[in-house]
Amino acid sequence: MSAGLAAIRATPPRRVRAELTAAYADLPPTPLRRRFAEADPEILDLFEQAVATWFGAVLAPHWTELASAHRHQVATATHRLAENGLDGLFAGLHPAIGWRPPVLEVRTWWSGEVTGTGEGLVLLPSPVAGPRPRVLVEPERPVLLVYPAAMPRSAAVPGADPLGRLLGATRAALLRRLAEPGRHTTTALAGAVGVSLSTASEHLTALRAAGLIRTGRDGASVLHRLTPLGGHLLGGSGDVGPGSDRPDEWHSGLRP
């Protein structure tokens, strides 16, 4: 935590100013943002305190689980890359990331085409990335792609999850993940909840036998989706299926 805060404080003022100007381009300036853009030490102290407070309240209590899940996600991605190359790696990262050689397509917050820096690509799974991936491109640095990863279900307060007590934490996590938009392959679900591929397959088989999910093929992919019973168990209604991945919904192209 201290290293992260030190890195924030070491950010050059010109970069702080440029990023704040871009982020608030459509809003009128305020005295606080103006002081932030000028790297006012008092405002930077306030910002540092806010980040430290948020970290202590939200992440620190679950840091062990988060670190374990991160290591698992990295190991799973490494295995997919070794076994199936770039196609296998990018297919399992996130529904908003698609690989159409030689273009990596990312459905993010803005539209446009980005040219790579020639320094490679860094993939960073994050449970606090928000609903969409984020792309950061800086000259002479690897392109940074931060993509959403599920918060480990074990980070929840023990005993506070009725569904987890009924089905078990992993099956409850898989069921909840299936209620979210996207193409839910076994590999993607395993990475999302932080379990091995064989463990995810075993739990999905149990959920299918209970009538909570159904499984079918879409070309070479095996996709899972909730049944109406599974949807009702989560408190919703009806069948929740995988989201669309039509080409016209991909908004950003990144050329490595």
SS3 143: strand
Question: Cα(80)–Cα(88) distance, rounded to whole angstroms?
Answer: 5
pLDDT the model gives residue 154 = 54
> Is 70 exceeded by the pLDDT of residue 1?
no
CA distances to 8, 11, 12, 38, 40 from 30, in Å: 22, 21, 21, 12, 14
- Give 249's pLDDT tier (boundaries 50, 70, 90): very low
Instruction: Give the whole-angstrom CA distance, residue 89 versus residue 91.
Output: 6
Residues whose CB is less than 8 angstroms from the CB of residue 88 and which lie 6 or more positions away in sequence, other chains included: 80, 81
User: Once rounded to an integer, what is the mean pLDDT over residues 6-12?
Assistant: 84
Residue 239 pLDDT exceeds 70: no
Which pTM value belongs to this model?
0.55
pLDDT (tens digit, 9 = 90+) per residue, 80-102? 899 889 998 998 888 899 999 98
Q: Which two tokens stand for residue 207?
A: 């959920």
Per-residue confidence band for 3, with pLDDT thresholds at 50, 70 and 90: confident
Distance CA 7, CA 16 (A): 12
Mean pLDDT, to the nearest integer, of 249-256?
Answer: 42
